[in-house]
Structure 1
Amino acid sequence: MLAWKKSLVYLPAGSENDWTTTIHIAASEGDVNMIYKLLNHRLDCWDMLDSNSQNALHVSVLNNQDEVVRFLLDSDKCDSLVDEPDSDGNTPLHLLSASGNHVPELINHPRAKKMSFNKENQTPLDIAL
């Protein structure tokens, strides 16, 4: 379908107040192959946000999809996803800390700001404690 109509990558799915995109769905399901195909058709879709202002890295962390996290972090193009806050001010590192999961590639990423504050005035280190 993407070969036929590449703009399908950008279509939101869901309701008016709670929607997502194809890359978010693939990230939540851990489908690295689909993410790879989406990025091959539309390289700029990696930075799309859902209705919670979350990118694919947020979603993959929330769904414990470590393989997707590593795949996204492996790409230079996705570096900016690391320190992007969602609508609650949480970066992917905040969400990783809250999950109790450990993905060293995200924890040690040079752009991962361990002292960034969310809207509850918490850093990822505060959440981990």
Structure 2
Amino acid sequence: MRLIAAYIIGLVFGTGIALSGMANPAKVLNFFDIAGSWDPSLIFVMGGALVTTFIGYRLVFGRPAPVLAEAFQVPISRTVDARLLGGSAVFGIGWGIAGFCPGGALPALGTGRWEVFAFIAAVVGGIFLARFLQSRGASARRATA
């Protein structure tokens, strides 16, 4: 049942990305081009997502537990540290350069464009690099302790 729910959620998300034009990197990049061919439609996509999330969180967290799990899994850390800021910066830079964010690029894989596959490969490579650097840092901290 969880797999079916995940599939349906992914299908709804991918359909929303495709219908909103967010699978088209040119549309996203035009949002960032304020002095040129600015396209403000991303504001409406983000606003719609914000309203949906605001309502959804109130409905979901009003329940004692999730429908398909034993407990809610929410982040417990509220610390703004170098890891969070660095990850946010890399995300923003990548989005501004490529015109894709990871969530929007996954549905765009269906277009078959090589740029999308290159972006996803870079994301996966970045995940492995971040994990490698994180494990090296943890090893160094243990060695000095």
TM-score relative to the length of structure 1: 0.26
Using CA pairs under 8 Å that are at least 6 residues apart, name the structure with larger relative contact order, 1 or 2. 2
For the pair shown, the structure with the greater C-alpha radius of gyration is: 2
TM-score relative to the length of structure 2: 0.24
